[in-house]
Amino acid sequence: MEKTNTRKEKIFLILAVYTFGLLLGLSFCLLRILGRIKITHKERFPKKEKGILVVSNHPSLLEPILLPLLFFGQYIFHPFSFTPWSIPDKANYFDRWYWFWAKITLIPINRNKPREAVKSLQKIEQILKDGRPVILFPEGGRTSSEKEHFTSKNGKKLRKLKGGVGRLVFRVNPLILPIWVDGAENVLPNKQGKLYHCFPRLWRIVKIRIGEPFRCTGLEKEEITQEITWKLFELADEE
């Protein structure tokens, strides 16, 4: 299996972390100070744990940018250990030229080509085993792009999670950190054919709720997928 953290990757990683990563991290802190980004239960974030798998709902195109910044204080001082890898949409991120600087920590999954998707999942598995954090959106796309949803007691919506997350957790058994994001779709509205991603509505508020970390030891693949679904819904409905 392909190894991570090669010499070439380390060079590009340092360049990305101390340029774009630093700039975005400081902007993230400023937006928190201004009250545009609100984080609930930050004390639950496992700062010293390695190989964390972050699972989140996916209401907009903002989350693949926003959630890696939760690791800002860690990746600035320990870029090789705590810079998170993210699994965004291939067309919206990886194939866009202006995301060149972030590609070193992006793992696109081409859902139209099963063999490529399997290779991507194998790489994610290896990264987790190496102790690096990974951010995964198990819905397999934005929540709004699917007509059928599961609904929580308080009306929060979630697409049926893809089976790949169950297989991944079954093989690696990482510490799972559930995160629920509200309001991101108001900052980057889901409107096709618009330059909405270039003009974020930063006066709107994004709420990030951090859940209790957990493991799925002893569960089968389908049970793991169900457990993650319920954990996300429990988090979404927290007061």
Q: Mean of the per-residue pLDDT values for the chain?
A: 87
Q: Which residues pair with 135 in a beta bridge?
A: 54, 86
Q: Which residues contact 156 (CB under 8 A, 6 or more apart)?
A: 57, 180, 233, 236, 237
Residue 198's pLDDT is 63
Q: What is the mean pLDDT of residues 203-230?
A: 96
Q: What is the mean pLDDT of residues 45-63?
A: 93
- 150: burial class by Cβ within 10 Å (0-12, 13-18, 19+)? middle
Which class would CATH give 7-236?
A: alpha beta
Six-digit token pair at 28?
Answer: 């993230």
3-state secondary structure (DSSP) of residue 44: helix
Residue 196's pLDDT is 52
Q: Which residues contact 149 (CB under 8 A, 6 or more apart)?
A: 143, 157, 158, 159
pLDDT > 80? residue 39: yes
Residue 200's pLDDT is 82
Q: What is the mean pLDDT of residues 180-197?
A: 78
Residue 105's pLDDT is 85
pLDDT > 50? residue 55: yes
Q: Which residues contact 188 (CB under 8 A, 6 or more apart)?
A: 60, 61, 62, 196, 197, 200, 201
pLDDT > 80? residue 32: yes
Q: Compute and round to an integer the Cα radius of gyration of the chain.
A: 17
Scored b (16 or more CB within 10 A) or e, 53-88 reads bbbbbbbbbbbbbbbbbbbbebbbeebbebbbbbbb
In the chain, domain spans: 7-236
Q: Which residues pair with 178 in a beta bridge?
A: 55
The number of beta carbons lying within 10 Å of the beta carbon of residue 115 is 8
Residue 140's pLDDT is 86
Residue 2's pLDDT is 45
User: Apex CA 128: angle with CA 49 and CA 62, to 5°?
Assistant: 85
Residue 197's pLDDT is 57
Condensed to tens digits (0 to 9), the pLDDT of residues 63-121 reads: 988 999 999 999 999 988 899 998 876 666 666 766 777 777 888 777 677 777 788 88
Cα–Cα distance measured from residue 16 to residue 13, given in angstroms and rounded to the nearest whole number: 5
Question: Taking a C-beta distance cutoff of 8 angstroms, is the pair 173, 167 a contact?
Answer: no
Condensed to tens digits (0 to 9), the pLDDT of residues 111-152 reads: 677 777 788 888 999 999 999 999 999 998 888 887 789 999
Six-digit token pair at 132?
Answer: 């690096």
Condensed to tens digits (0 to 9), the pLDDT of residues 17-31 reads: 889 999 999 999 999
Residue 1's pLDDT is 42
- 30: burial class by Cβ within 10 Å (0-12, 13-18, 19+)? exposed
Condensed to tens digits (0 to 9), the pLDDT of residues 157-173 reads: 999 999 889 999 999 99
pTM higher than 0.85: yes
| pLDDT class of 58 with cuts at 50, 70, 90 | very high
